[in-house]
Every structure is written in C-alpha cells, then in structure tokens.
Structure 1
C-alpha cells in the first residue's frame, strides 16, 4: 500500500514539473521546461531563457508585455548636422513588476490640440527587434532620425511642416498610446521619421 501511495505522489510531482509556463507573447518569450525533479523534492515552476534587461544584465522573463499603463515615455534630442536630426524615444517601466518589450513603437506627431500631423514612420534594423526585460525603474530606447530640409513641394521660406507639440507613441504589440512631448522642431519630407527597434538603455 505504501508503494502505491508513493507512486501516486511521484506522478503528481512530475506532472506539475512538466507544465510549461504560459507566455503572453510567444514571439518574444521562449519558455523551456525546468529540469526534472526527484520524488523527494517539491516541484518548481519552469524557468525561461534569460533576456537582456534594462540594466544590461540577465534575468528570468515574465509573461507580461510592457503597456502604456506602466510605461513613461519621453523623446530626447541627439546630434544634429547637415539638415539631419537625431533623437531617442525612451520608455521607463514605472510599474511594480518586470515587463518585456520587443520590437518597434508606433509614433504619430500631434499639434497642441491633439490633431494628427503628417507622420511617415519607417522602421530601420539598427538595431532590429530583440526582447528586452524592464525591471521597475529601468528603461529601453529606440533611435529616431529625421530631416529638416524641405523636400518636394514643401516651402523653403517657412517651416516645411507644422511643428509638433506632442506625439502619441504606441508600445510594440499594443493599441493604447503614451503621450510624449515632442518640442524638437518640424519634421520635413512629409513627416518622415526613421525608427529603430527598442534596446536596453
């Protein structure tokens, strides 16, 4: 009788160890089962492959994606020269738990009243998509590049486009935007902005 009870307990433990943790986005999180447990030890949740974190270290990923509800966004200016402008879209995890961001942000320039302005967002693989875990308080960034040189029928005696006051930035695989301040001047070439994927900042 004792052998039957022990066998039943072992079967339950092995079944628990073999259940993979569900991920919210299978394209960003690669889950692997944990090592088998002996009959004398309690089962533990499966571990996952380490991801890069906002602090440049590795950690066990969680299932949640970073959403606008937990992210604070800002646009930071970079170098300028020969009509080119550079900047970064920086997002910081202000939530209470880690989250994962992977891919490209959406971005729409807005005027002071919140009306959309011409925006032609173009993705560049510099760098390309890779999952980044943000523990609370850490950040990720995406590179931005645009021109202030009028093109086509854009005027040369005044700003080529209306200057944006703000921008709506949508985290990867999400639909709700973050409101970020722009204040970096007009974007010529019909609002063309090149954007990279997010990387650990």
Structure 2
C-alpha cells in the first residue's frame, strides 16, 4: 500500500495524470483542425460581399435580389483620363426590399469576361437601405482610360466591354447591365462605393 502511494505521488510530481488527478496542462484540449485552403482571388471573379456588408433586414422585408432590381450605368464626369459614373439600381418589384453594402462587378463582352479589378471605397461606406417599389440606390464608380504598364498605347488598352454582371450585396446571382462607356484601362481597375439612397 505504501509503495502504491509513493508511486502515485511521484507520478503526480512528474505531471502525469495517473491516479485520476487532472493538471492544468490537460484540463482543456484543442483538437487539431484541418488546414485552411486559400480562397481564389482571380481578378475576373466578381467581388463577393464581406462581413462588413451584412446588415439586419427589417422584419418581413426581403433583400433586394437580382430579380427585383433593374440596373443602369450612367456617366457623371470626365477629365484628364479619369471617368466617373454611377451604378444605379431600381426596385422594380411590387414590395419593399433592403440593400446594404457593395455590388460585385464584372465587365463582360460577347466573348466572355473582360479583365476587371474591383476596388471598394469607403466613401460612402455600407448603410442599410430600404427601397420602396420604384426606389433607387446608387454606387459611385471611377476608372481610367489612360493605358498603364504594358497596355498598348495605340487602340484600346483592354477589350471593350458591352455589359456588366453585377451581383447585389449578399447575393450570388448577377443581374446583367449594359456598359456603353468604352474600355477600362489599368487592367480593368474600377473603384466602387457602397450603395446609398438616390
């Protein structure tokens, strides 16, 4: 009996959990997790909504999905190789819907995707909007028509888009919007703001 107690005491001192004793070292254990896989960051993929886009919708009001929205892109200003416009969406449904955050935005033409590098700007940032039927929201756009890097100086700097696949915030299906504002240089770089009431 004495030998058993001595052996148990030595095991406790050695931080081994014999005799039913729990030490702080083994009080909580973390199971190994599977390694995370890197997400795809291809420039041709429309930007997906981030957690900052997400806002609680008023009770009973659905998000503005692609079926409820009609979109258009209108120019607003131009100068020194810079172009400015607005991506305007209208609630074409029969019920109010909510919108909060940034749109995905992929330039396209008859051959498919055209290089697009979407950059989100925080002015204005995300804000919860409720669009009544016929209500509108806008996102500001800015791009360049000056060739950059290895883009050709003669002709068009990038393939000319004819439409945009635009994904509303927190949605996965795009709506198709005509693009009539020419090529977008700097590899298709477009700055976009979050939607705001207009």
Task: Give the TM-score normalised by the residue count of structure 1.
Answer: 0.70
Give how far 1:112 is off: 2.5
Give how far 1:158 is off: 1.0
Highest Rg: 1 or 2? 2
Q: CA contact under 8 A between 1:62 and 1:100: conserved in structure 2?
A: no
Residue in 2 that maps onto 1:120:
117
Give how far 1:100 is off: 0.4
Structural mapping, 1:173-188, within 5 Å = 173-188=170-185
Q: Distance in 2 between matches of 1:27 and 1:173?
A: 7
Residue in 2 that maps onto 1:68:
66
Q: Secondary structure at the match of 1:142?
A: strand
Q: Distance in 2 between matches of 1:62 and 1:188?
A: 43
Residue in 2 that maps onto 1:87:
85
Residue in 2 that maps onto 1:162:
159
| Runs of 4+ residues deviating >3 angstroms | none
* 1:36-67 residue CA offsets vs partner (Å, 9 max, x unmatched): xxxxxxxxxxxx6xxxxxxxxxxxx6431000
| Paired residues, number | 146
Cα distance, 1:90–1:156 mapped onto 2, change above 3 Å: same
Q: Distance in 2 between matches of 1:102 and 1:184?
A: 26
Structural mapping, 1:13-162, within 5 Å = 27-29=54-56, 62-113=60-111, 115-162=112-159
Q: CA contact under 8 A between 1:62 and 1:99: conserved in structure 2?
A: no
Unaligned runs of 5+ residues in structure 1 are 1-25, 31-47, 49-60
* 1:134-170 residue CA offsets vs partner (Å, 9 max, x unmatched): 0000100000000001000000011101110011000
Q: Distance in 2 between matches of 1:27 and 1:191?
A: 27
Q: CA contact under 8 A between 2:54 and 2:101: conserved in structure 1?
A: no
Residue in 2 that maps onto 1:22:
none
Q: CA contact under 8 A between 1:29 and 1:63: conserved in structure 2?
A: no
Q: Secondary structure at the match of 1:159?
A: coil
Q: Secondary structure at the match of 1:190?
A: helix
Q: Distance in 2 between matches of 1:29 and 1:168?
A: 25
